[in-house]
Amino acid sequence: MKKIFWLFLIFFFLQNLFAQETVTKKPKIGLVLSGGGAKGLAHIGVLKVLEQAGVKVDYIGGTSMGSIIGGLYASGYNARQLDSIFNATNFDELLQDYIPRSSKSFYEKRNDEIYALTLPFQNFKIGFPLAYSKGMYNYNLFAKLTFPVRDITDFSKLPIPFICMATDIEKGKPVVLNKGYLPQAMLASSAIPSLFAPVEIDGKLLIDGGVTDNYPVEEVRKMGADIIIGVDVQDNLKDRNNLKNASKILIQVSNVEMINKMEAKRKQTDIYIKPDITNFSVISFEEGKKIVRNGEEAAFLVFEQLKKIGDTTRVFKPVIKPNSNDSILIGKIDVTKLDNNTRAFVLGKLHFKPKSKISFSDLRKGIDNLNATQNFSSINYIIEKKSDGDALKINLTENQIKTFLKFGLHYDGLYKSALLFNITHKKSLFKNDVASFDLALGDNIRYNFDYYIDNGFYLSFGLKARFNTFSRDITNDFNNGQTFQQFGINSFNINYSDFSNQAYVQTVFIQKFLIGGGIEFKHLKIKSKTLDTENQIFDNSDYLGVFGYFKYDSFNNKYFPKKGWYFDGNATSYLYSSDYSNTFKRYSIIKGDVGFVKTFYKKFTLKINSETGFSVGPKSSPYLDFILGGYGYMTINNFKHFYGYDFVSLAADSYIKSCFTVDYEFIKKNHLNFSANYANVENKLYSTGNWLKKPTYNGYALGYGMETVIGPIEVKYSWSPELSKGYTWFNVGFWF
């Protein structure tokens, strides 16, 4: 009987103990964050309110933008930090997969700044790019932000257990990503079709999880959540009044199944939060602050429910401290085996080597350098924490398409209108070579051929062939006014043509400067039908010379730079001429151009430019003199822009010029600017000492410019106190 009594007593005690534990056990909170592009910024506002209510999240599941914000929150950032991160993010650069101009070689800069459209060309068929962006900007950002948790490959071991959803595009099925390299998982989950390229993980080709499961409430419940808080930033079905065009109808069709599924998912959600995203799209990042506020407002509508499961005295200190991701000690670098590119080529583009301490900025620049080559269809990397420094594992997929068709258009006052057609082929003869041919069709037919072998820091080799021609009424006769005096005229029309061929070698010096030299053969022909004479040709000569150059260019934009500086020094020695005009003697031309750009007060930019050129040796061919005037055209030979004077207005064998421009970006990509330039233009300017005197020529310009996908569209009104009339110049498109 005593045994029964004691057994009963023990049973009663244990029952009460378990009952107390059941009463005191806190429910596990799961957070579900849907995808929605820019609309997903509302998640940050919701997180702010959750923290205010003292809600400790135990599990997070997200899709697309929900995976990005959820993954960073799970890594240890608090809501305030996330708000700061996204306020500091340039979403224009993110969407464009922006590659800084500084990451491009001089050859790549030139090629990226004259074409409006590039299409792959294979088996005599024009294709289309796999996506608008590879997502490298995103990947670099994610890698930096998650660097403190880079050693965690099981997402359940993160400060907050985390999963995100992606879609296997080949099978059309949802994929739960709960292991691996977190930046890669976030990138795959947010790879919006056509906007971002698919991401390969474990042999699966993955795109945005929103295609198959945009609200992973079931997966978060499986993680162990007792209470589900769900944030839904998906669009609702629109009525006929809001379906006014084909694109909106197509979007609705693609969203129908997802929206219909949402009704059942909503029933599985304990606290449902639906921010107002009515007037926003997936790319409305410029309205990010308002979207965040709408997230806060929606969360406050259920604030009393949140307080019941929270603790308002709780303080949400960030796990990740500021500046915890500033530097990386690279122990070793592993690169996937490549068929068409060498390891040396890859390391040369990275600009850092194993056993070196680098910043994340250095890593980003190195990856951007690789991306800028366009040799790789995909680039991803993993940073593995090791005892002797981090291991950087770079996985490169070589671009199988070697041929591209490129197009552009342009109009200016000198060359007039032109359509540009280009064919570019890589790896024609060598691994690192590229061949490019431009044909400009319009008022003046022109062409440009380039063949270049890029060996990075080692000697690179190139060949160029170029033909330029234009017809123009001019007030300069290339003969010190003697022609005008002889025929009693003050202007005449000329046909100017230049055929130039170069062979050169060059290399990168101290990782920044380009130094090179070569040999040039040039044929120059200048004629006029205006003159009443049998001999209407001024020059029809061949020229042979050798040249050298030294360049540096850190402008962030060629046409509307906001920072950086530029230097171009060039010397050409002419050794031979067929000498049509019987004036040639061996001589040299030296020229230099330096520029500096600085932005102040956010939208105001000051650009200062100074340049000079002069001849060394006896006075020789006047047809290679420096010729100033006009704006908006691609310069050749010694033609130079100069405000206040028309095209081909000022000529001499030497000049010195300075230009000051203040640019105001009053609306994004829209510019108002004022320029002032001053110059002395005179034969033997430096011999006479007149280069030190007050400028003889000066001119000014007021202008408007707009950045577009086809290049700049500009209009400028220019005038000079020395002249009785002003000039209005209009140019459209990239200069070529």
Q: What is the CA radius of gyration of the chain?
A: 33
Q: Say which range, 26-40, 257-271, 423-437, 513-527, has the weakest mean pLDDT.
A: 257-271
* Average pLDDT, integer, range 168-193: 94
What is the identity of the amino acid at 24?
T
Residue 49 has pLDDT above 50, yes or no: yes
Give me the pLDDT at residue 57, please: 95
pLDDT-based confidence at 356, cuts 50/70/90?
confident
Burial class from Cβ neighbours inside 10 Å (0-12, 13-18, 19+) for residue 633 reads buried
Residues 535 and 582: their CA atoms lie apart, in Å, by 15
pLDDT higher at 213 or 353 = 213
pLDDT higher at 669 or 262 = 669
pLDDT higher at 21 or 477 = 477
Give me the pLDDT at residue 237, please: 64
Give me the pLDDT at residue 267, please: 87
Give me the pLDDT at residue 265, please: 86
Residue 22 has pLDDT above 50, yes or no: no
Give me the pLDDT at residue 100, please: 83
pLDDT tens string 439-470: 999 999 999 999 998 876 678 899 999 999 99
Other Cβ atoms less than 10 A from the Cβ of 383: the count is 21
pLDDT higher at 503 or 90 = 503
pLDDT tens string 558-606: 999 999 999 999 999 999 999 988 888 999 999 999 999 999 988 999 9
Instruction: Look up residue 618 and give its DSSP letter.
Output: S
Contact 222, 274 (CB under 8 A): no
Residue 23 has pLDDT above 60, yes or no: no
Other Cβ atoms less than 10 A from the Cβ of 169: the count is 17
Phi-psi region at 481: left, alpha or beta (left = phi > 0; alpha = psi -120 to 50): left
Of 578, 515, 493, which is closest to residue 543 (Cα–Cα)? 578
pLDDT-based confidence at 18, cuts 50/70/90?
very low
Give me the pLDDT at residue 24, please: 53
Residues 290 and 303: their CA atoms lie apart, in Å, by 20
pLDDT tens string 342-355: 787 888 788 888 88
CA atoms within 13 A on the CB side of 361: 3
In the block, residue with structure tokens 């939208």: 603
pLDDT-based confidence at 104, cuts 50/70/90?
confident
pLDDT tens string 269-300: 999 999 998 888 888 998 999 999 999 999 99
653-665: string of b/e by CB count within 10 Å (b at 16+)?
bbbbbebebebeb
pLDDT higher at 331 or 598 = 598
Residue 10 has pLDDT above 50, yes or no: yes
pLDDT tens string 691-711: 888 999 999 999 999 999 999
pLDDT higher at 108 or 735 = 735
Q: Is 736 helix (H, G, I), strand (E, B) or coil?
A: coil
Give me the pLDDT at residue 106, please: 75
* Average pLDDT, integer, range 487-504: 82
Whole-number mean pLDDT of the chain?
Answer: 87
* Average pLDDT, integer, range 539-557: 94
Residues 428 and 439: their CA atoms lie apart, in Å, by 20
Quote the distance between the C-alpha of residue 49 and its chain's center: 35
pLDDT tens string 54-70: 999 999 999 999 999 99
pLDDT-based confidence at 386, cuts 50/70/90?
confident
pLDDT tens string 665-675: 999 899 999 99
Indicate the pairing of strand 227-231 with strand 492-509: unpaired
Other Cβ atoms less than 10 A from the Cβ of 575: the count is 12
Burial class from Cβ neighbours inside 10 Å (0-12, 13-18, 19+) for residue 41 reads buried
DSSP string, 552-602: EE--S-SSS--SEEEEEEEEEEEEEE--TTS----EEEEEEEEEEEEEETT
Give me the pLDDT at residue 515, please: 93
Residue 130 has pLDDT above 90, yes or no: no
Residue 594 structure tokens: 């330096």
Beta strand segments in 124-172, E: 125-126, 162-168
In the block, residue with structure tokens 């698919």: 198
Give me the percent of the chain exceeding a pLDDT of 70.
89
Give me the pLDDT at residue 342, please: 79
Give me the pLDDT at residue 250, please: 60
